[in-house]
Structure 1
Amino acid sequence: MRLFDRFRTKYKWNPRAEQAIYDTFIDLIKDRFRDNMKTLRELSKQMAKEAHRELPDEGYDIGILREFPPKGIPLEKWHRMCAHWNTEKWQKKSIAGRANRKNDLCRHTGGSIRFDQHRINLDKEEGKTVGYKKVLLQTHATKRCKKMLQDGVISENDFASLEFVTDRAKRSYVAYSQQLKDLYGDVDCDDLDLWKSLHPKCKGRKMFGIGSSDPDFLVTGKKSSTICGSNDDARHSQELQKVQAELEREREARQNIEARFELFQQELEKERADQDEWRKNMEELVKNIGKK
C-alpha cells in the first residue's frame, strides 16, 4: 500500500511490530475513509440545497447528489462513487446504520473503546476493582456530567443532577443503584442477575450497557461467575491479568499510532493546500501573460 509506504518514511519502529502497526494503520484508514465519504456526501447535499433542489431531511438522494461533485473531486470519479452509493446493498446498510444510531442500545459516550477496556482502565486508575456504576457513568454519562463528578460538584448518588445521553441509561442507572441498596444496604458490591432482571427484553441479544463485552467481567470485575476451586481461581486470575496487560499495551500502541497518523494526515492536507495554491498562482500567471 503506497500510503503506508509513505507513512513508514516518516517514522521508525521495531521490525517485529511491523504487522501490528500495519493492521492498525489499515483500521484507521477504514475509519477515516467512512468519515471522509460521509463528509463528501454532506457537502454535495448542501450544494444541492443551495441550488434549491428537493432532498430528504435524512439520508441522500444519490441521483441528485450525482450532479453536485464537491470541490476537488473530478466529475468522473464522483459519478463512480455515486454509482456505488446508489446500489441496493449500500442503501440497505445506510438505512440500518441510521436506525442503529437512533437506537438507545447504540448510544453511549465510550467512544471506540470497548466497555470492558473502560473497566480495565478504571480499575487501573483506582488501584482496585471499581463498581459497575462507575463503568456506567464512564460509558453513558454526558461529558458535562463526567466533569462535574470529577470536580466533586456532584456524586454518583445525586440522581437528580446526573446527566446521561439517553433517558433509558439514566433509568437503568437509578434503578440499579436503588435496588442494590435495597438488597445489600451500603455494602459496595455488584449483582449481574439484578442488572439482567432490569433488562428482560435483552434476553438473547446484546444487553444494554454491556454490548459485546463479557457480562460477568464488566459488571463484577471477575472473568467468570462460575464457582471454581482455589487453583482454578488463581489460574483464571493470572490469565485475566495477562489479558488486561495485553489490552493495555494494545491500547497504548494504538494511541501512539493514531497520534502519528493524525500528524501524517495534517502533512498531507498541507501538501494538497500548497499544491492548490501553486496551481492557482500558475493559472493567474498564464492569464496575465495572455493579456500582454
Structure 2
Amino acid sequence: MYFLFSNQGTATRVILSNLISLWSGPWESWRHVPNEHKTRLFERFQMHFQWEDKWNARIHRCWEKCIAGKFPNLLRNVRNDAKATAKEKGKNVGEDMTDLIDFKPAWIRSEIWKQMLDHWNTPKWKAKSLRNKEIRGRATGGKHTLGSQSYASMKRKAAKILGRELSVHEAWKQSRCRKGSRPLDKDLSCSSSLLLDVDSEGNTQEENIVWVDDRAEETWVS
C-alpha cells in the first residue's frame, strides 16, 4: 500500500470508508471478520484503484495489514464518540457500557451495536482495555496529529514544499501540535516551493501552538 500508491492518504481513507460502509457484524478485530466479508472489502477497494496483475498478492498483503491496523482506533473512537454524545444529552455514563445503547453510530445496526456493547461489558475485555490504556499512558512523546499520513511522509512533503529539510524541532511540533496551531501549517498549505525559512508570523504561531496532549508537551520541554 505505502509503496505502490502515490497518494497514501487517499488509499487509507478509502480503506476506512469501505470498512465503515460494509460493517455488518460485532467484529472485535480484523481476525473476527468472516472471509467472505474480507473478500467483499477487497473487491470494493479494487473499484477505486487499478494496478497490474503482478502486484495483486503484494497489494493484498499491504491492504490487509492496513485495514487490520484500523480496527483498534476505529472502535476506540466509536466508544469515545458515543460517550461524548451521551454526556451531551445529559446521560450519566458509568462503567456499564449498556449506558451507550441509544448512542450508536449511524453505520452500525442496532442489533450489532448491542452485541458490541455486551462484549465491551465483559470483565475480560475491561481488564484488557485497562492494560492497553496503561501501556499507552507509559508511552513517551504523546500521540501524533498526522492522521493517516506517516511521519516520514510528512517530512518528505514538507521538504519538497519548503525546499529544505525540517529540523528535528520543527518536525516534532508539526506532528505533535493540533491542526491550525502548528507553526508550519500556513507554509505547508501553499503549493509554492519558494517560501521563506522563517514566516513573518512565526513568533505568534510559536506562542499559540496547542499540544495534542500533555505527554507531547512534556517531552518537548524535557
| TM-score, with structure 2 as normaliser | 0.51
Q: What does residue 139 of structure 1 align with?
A: 175
Inter-CA distance 135–80: structure 2 relative to 1 (3 Å threshold): same
Quick one: which of 209, 213, 217 aligns to 1:163?
A: 209
1:154 and 2:201 aligned? yes
Inter-CA distance 19–131: structure 2 relative to 1 (3 Å threshold): same
Q: What does residue 109 of structure 1 align with?
A: 145
Inter-CA distance 61–128: structure 2 relative to 1 (3 Å threshold): same
Q: What does residue 4 of structure 1 align with?
A: 42
Query: What are structure 2's unaligned runs of at least 5 residues?
Result: 1-38, 188-198
Spell out, residue by residue over 1:232-267, the C-alpha distance to the aligned partner (whole angstroms, 9 max, x if none).
xxxxxxxxxxxxxxxxxxxxxxxxxxxxxxxxxxxx
Alignment length, in residue pairs?
169
Q: CA RMSD in A?
A: 4.3
Q: What does residue 13 of structure 1 align with?
A: 51
- Cα distance between partner residues in 2 of 1:167 and 1:39: 19
Query: What are structure 1's unaligned runs of at least 5 residues?
Result: 176-197, 199-292
- Deviation, 1:13, is 1.6
- Deviation, 1:85, is 1.9
Q: Indicate if the aligned counterparts of 1:154 and 1:161 stay in contact, CA closer than 8 A.
A: no
1:130 and 2:158 aligned? no
Higher RCO structure (Cα 8 Å, ≥6 apart): 2
Spell out, residue by residue over 1:197-227, the C-alpha distance to the aligned partner (whole angstroms, 9 max, x if none).
x5xxxxxxxxxxxxxxxxxxxxxxxxxxxxx
Q: Indicate if the aligned counterparts of 2:174 and 2:183 stay in contact, CA closer than 8 A.
A: no
- Cα distance between partner residues in 1 of 2:43 and 2:186: 43
Once the two structures are superposed, the pairs formed by residues 1-292 of structure 1 within 5 Å of their partners are 1-9=39-47, 11-30=49-68, 32-34=70-72, 37-38=75-76, 41=79, 54-56=92-94, 60-65=95-100, 68=102, 70=104, 73-75=109-111, 77-99=112-134, 100=136, 105-146=141-182, 150=186, 152-155=199-202, 161-165=207-211, 166=213, 169=216, 173=220, 198=222
Structure of larger gyration radius: 1
Spell out, residue by residue over 1:41-71, the C-alpha distance to the aligned partner (whole angstroms, 9 max, x if none).
4676578779986422xxx513544x65846
Q: Indicate if the aligned counterparts of 1:115 and 1:139 stay in contact, CA closer than 8 A.
A: yes
- Deviation, 1:73, is 2.0
State the AA in 2 paired with 1:163: I
Inter-CA distance 50–104: structure 2 relative to 1 (3 Å threshold): same
Give the 3-state SS of the residue equivalent to 2:146 in structure 1: coil
- Deviation, 1:91, is 1.6
* Higher fraction of helix: 1
Spell out, residue by residue over 1:122-166, the C-alpha distance to the aligned partner (whole angstroms, 9 max, x if none).
3444444432122122212332333676352433x6796251405
- Cα distance between partner residues in 2 of 1:140 and 1:50: 28
- Cα distance between partner residues in 2 of 1:80 and 1:102: 31
